[in-house]
Structure 1
């Protein structure tokens, strides 16, 4: 008669260096049961992440505008342009835009065509994590635990349903981790080269952040691969070459393609991709020298926007200190919004890393469990350390990059302690993992004490009771299933806090540049700063144009919002920060003279980020024009945000040359008919 275990782990007590098919798999139905379990996990993940995904609308309109542009123009798709006219790119490489733009080309651009591929990336990441953990642990149930832990991590539930490039980057990082595990099993050059190539594309998703897993993967292979050290070094060099080739081709395209016939590379100071890599999106971001882009310091308007977003986050998640005021150091990932997004299993994962290394201290050099601990634990510590000590603008959702590492390391720790359950070390280690998870979940939920207060107490009681019971020496064979049941209940209780927050995250609409996890905020905001307010009159006006760019406006977020509302290409002066040195006044005048730009627009809130001044729509005659021009100049040179005064010469020329008109909450200058 077939029986089914209730444990999240297999009951085998030894993990061979190169695992074959587990005996439990043969006993309980073999591969068919494993495939069914994996299918159930992936289907559940897909349903959870796809459920009502269009509630997020266009998500971050900055990246949505680029996805829309890619669905309209192949050149825009290649470079990740913000607009089909290919004036300027987004400030990240284009891999994420390739996926969303191609989906828009195939299915027609919409919220669903843009966001569904992001959710499917979550399914793929869960599958890869399952595969990697199962191979090193020789346990189907441990793979399921790792995959479920990743799927139920709140930051994953947030960002794999959003349109930022983080989802594509993390999927590629996880693919590199899986390929490294495959390479470790049999010293496979092919799999190691594939890992390097995958990291190359992770770099093209979000530059240096995509390479944060590289040290851990290289160290694990150098230590544990079952072949001579000289061969390992040569193989790692081959993987490095593959990584450089997978990323370098795009860099060469940007260098060889004439700058005059491709979009400006946003965020760079000289239209050079490597300047963007090493500056704005590289070391400058880590060292805190990229505030506002291009190395400029933030303006009062920038500070106010960030503080406003932080205030909304703090109202729901006490402890968040704002983009510039977050605590810097090891406690960052455990506090404020970071804690809610990634902190649930992080203490237990760190403990698991230590426990596995100690438990495997006398294992052979090629031991896969220890190698996996180096992969996932090293990934978590190195990447997490960089996130913790970054001085620049750090969004909490950046911590998605360590979500697979935390989930995988936690599962490996539980598995290792289960296999050592007949020893005091194993029992106490497992009990400690359960207790730490439960206590820390209680602490996190206590910070949002008004939200289902009974949940935190239930988690605390169940995990502590389970920890105590598991610490009892269940040495008799008849007690094995009882011990398995206790461990299973404890693990499920430990995951329930993160799961509840993930469910609340999925049930809440998110948009803008600072989405947060958890239940909806009282004021209904979900990080919506950076969104352009609807202006039906302006939309109708832009839809009547047939020029290359229907309008020009300060900043990429405003331009993207106008594009999404009107379906027309809009020139983003100064890029995302407003400080990119494009266009020059002479270039702008040439485009106006050639009839390529229909209107110049000044939004009432400068960059469409909420609040701001409104114009007096009753002004008439010369006095009215003078006042509107003065207001426009002030909005453009001051309240525009990051790039204060960077392109004031364009504003001064437009306001001195053209007549303003009020269109909804915007001041509009008709640029048609201009002659020198």
Structure 2
């Protein structure tokens, strides 16, 4: 992994192709068995494909009242896939697989440009591919794989700006790709923007006046590429849907509120470990906690040690420093925000850290390998020992979940350390053994997730032992949740996501007999309505949007629809809401015997 290794060994391109193919095989394994995965986005993909305005705004319901609670770019690939193949579970997941597969070699090419070492790029790609959260989020249709791809592509464009011709154009492309990331998950993408700017400023060879001018152009590009959709939606002259997740129906409020400061400082849908089995305590050690460490933190100590060692060492080449600043800044900035944020927190948010962890870990191994060959025989074995001890600790937290992995981790680490200390002749095999010790467990977890031992929910994918996902639940609830998180049972449950229950099928049949404009409106969140959208052309409305808190439709709007005979059936839930109270007071409760004798929900006829 010599940083002067410009010409790849013959096996490196072959190994990168193999890594990419195997990663794709894991991501795509049994896609048809994943149900409709995150049914919220599957339903949105169908509705957004029904017209230009629906596509542009990210409209969720066929009535056109509400949008999804994010910008639409992350769902657009799913819409295109549904246009081509029809609405199937595998069709909405296929774009995710494509995004995940593209990120693997793209990260390798990026790291290679910064280090001039194809082997270091290959190692970064391998780490990205085997990290468990990468596997589970790529097999889900939340937009995060596209966020990761946008960020990795932006890093690649930046590496081209610093290593070739057309520097300004490549820099502008990097900035535009960061803007695309914003249109996938808003502010989460811009957490890394300062690292990109700093890497460019330290990495370019231009005079300071020119580099500052280019930096200013990049900043403007990021702003324009990020906010064009916000401006378009808010200045749209005609009728438009209420922007889901916002307080006032504006895309700007969605940007700075629900998907902005609300995600960091807390919001109504966020907190309380009783409501969220994936909860983790905010703080500097959050990413190392039982509920999160197994998702992305296998090599986090290695990466952090590498950052410390690098920035106290003698001066490095300009391009190498830029690579460390880019990916190290990405890791530190995003990692700190994710560690301390008190808003909505889901384990798969850590997927945006994986490219940075992978790149910095690969940088670290390359750096320590160079030191080792130069005569420093203890630093590399020591770092491998510390990193292997961390992997051992993660397994030890729940030995009931493939605890046998402790033994190969220890054996491989010991063999690697002994070989590294034995002399230069055994250094190569020793390094390979040490890396195997660090990667065998995340690789196994990823393989288990791909093979059907999926843990987590379709709306909240995660990998690993049940204990980690139920850490904050009361003891009496842990056994109940374990059924959803562990083993083949969890795969069976996921395969049914987005399907119609017998009760929903009965409600659907009844609603389809109506000739009103809105055949069914439902409280309880957009996910509750998703099966109706997926399995029919019903004119259905998810009142309250994804969080159930959106003020759309208002009571006055709903009452006007009923007065004008535009809405027929309304499905309520157990929560007390002004809309539900109005429905109960003005509409007729449909006897369950009329549609489904064992009905557990209340259905009202407002005709």
Name the TM-score, length of structure 1 as normaliser.
Answer: 0.80
Question: Which of 108, 126, 149 is residue 130 of structure 1 equivalent to?
Answer: 108
Partner of 1:54: 32
Question: What is the SS of the residue equivalent to 1:96?
Answer: coil
Q: Does 1:223 align with 2:202?
A: yes
Partner of 2:307: 353
Q: Does 1:22 align with 2:10?
A: no
* 1:631-642 equivalence runs, <5 A: 635-637=574-576
Q: Does 1:192 align with 2:136?
A: no
Partner of 2:588: 658
Structure 1 contact 560–570 (Cα < 8 Å) conserved: no
Partner of 1:617: none
Structure 2 contact 587–606 (Cα < 8 Å) conserved: no
**How far, CA to CA, are the matches of 1:405 and 1:76 in structure 2?**
35
Q: Does 1:380 align with 2:334?
A: no
Question: Which of 299, 315, 328 is residue 362 of structure 1 equivalent to?
Answer: 315
Query: How many Å apart are 1:248 and its aligned residue?
Result: 2.3
**How far, CA to CA, are the matches of 2:76 and 2:551 in structure 1?**
26
User: What RMSD over aligned residues (CA atoms) do the two structures have, in Å?
Assistant: 2.4
Structure 1 contact 56–511 (Cα < 8 Å) conserved: no
Query: How many Å apart are 1:54 and its aligned residue?
Result: 2.7
Structure 2 contact 449–463 (Cα < 8 Å) conserved: yes
Deviates more, 1:133-142 or 1:501-510: 501-510
Query: How many Å apart are 1:522 and its aligned residue?
Result: 5.0
Partner of 1:538: 507
**How far, CA to CA, are the matches of 1:470 and 1:455 in structure 2?**
23
CA displacement 1:183-241 (0-9 Å, x = unmatched): 12247111110010001110010010011111111111111211111111111111122
Partner of 2:212: 233
Q: Does 1:329 align with 2:283?
A: yes
Q: Does 1:453 align with 2:403?
A: yes
Query: How many Å apart are 1:154 and its aligned residue?
Result: 0.6
**How far, CA to CA, are the matches of 2:94 and 2:499 in structure 1?**
23
The verdict on how the C-alpha distance between 1:34 and 1:658 changes in structure 2, with shifts beyond 3 A counting, is: same
Structure 1 contact 196–242 (Cα < 8 Å) conserved: yes
Partner of 1:429: 379
Query: How many Å apart are 1:246 and its aligned residue?
Result: 1.6
Partner of 1:584: 554
Query: How many Å apart are 1:552 and its aligned residue?
Result: 0.7
Deviates more, 1:45-54 or 1:194-203: 45-54
**How far, CA to CA, are the matches of 2:558 and 2:164 in structure 1?**
59
* 1:420-569 equivalence runs, <5 A: 420-425=371-376, 427-474=377-424, 479=425, 482-508=426-452, 509=454, 511-518=457-464, 522-525=482-485, 526=490, 534=501, 535=503, 536-554=505-523, 555-569=525-539
Question: What is the SS of the residue equivalent to 1:91?
Answer: coil
Unaligned stretches of 5+ residues in structure 1? 1-8, 16-20, 311-321, 607-634, 638-644
Query: How many Å apart are 1:503 and its aligned residue?
Result: 1.1
Structure 1 contact 59–163 (Cα < 8 Å) conserved: yes
Question: What is the SS of the residue equivalent to 1:202?
Answer: helix
Query: How many Å apart are 1:363 and its aligned residue?
Result: 2.6
Structure 1 contact 532–558 (Cα < 8 Å) conserved: no
Structure 1 contact 41–147 (Cα < 8 Å) conserved: yes
The number of aligned residues is: 575
The verdict on how the C-alpha distance between 1:649 and 1:483 changes in structure 2, with shifts beyond 3 A counting, is: closer
Name the TM-score, length of structure 2 as normaliser.
Answer: 0.89
**How far, CA to CA, are the matches of 1:552 and 1:649 in structure 2?**
11
The verdict on how the C-alpha distance between 1:436 and 1:543 changes in structure 2, with shifts beyond 3 A counting, is: farther
Question: What is the SS of the residue equivalent to 1:337?
Answer: coil
Structure 2 contact 135–446 (Cα < 8 Å) conserved: yes
Query: How many Å apart are 1:458 and its aligned residue?
Result: 1.5
Structure 1 contact 309–514 (Cα < 8 Å) conserved: no
Structure 1 contact 45–123 (Cα < 8 Å) conserved: yes
CA displacement 1:400-451 (0-9 Å, x = unmatched): 11010001111111111222223344x4332233222211111111112112
Query: How many Å apart are 1:280 and its aligned residue?
Result: 1.1
CA displacement 1:352-391 (0-9 Å, x = unmatched): 22233344x3234x2x222111111110111000000001
Unaligned stretches of 5+ residues in structure 2? 467-480
Question: What is the SS of the residue equivalent to 2:432?
Answer: helix
Question: What is the SS of the residue equivalent to 1:550?
Answer: strand
Structure 1 contact 57–511 (Cα < 8 Å) conserved: no
Structure 2 contact 457–484 (Cα < 8 Å) conserved: no
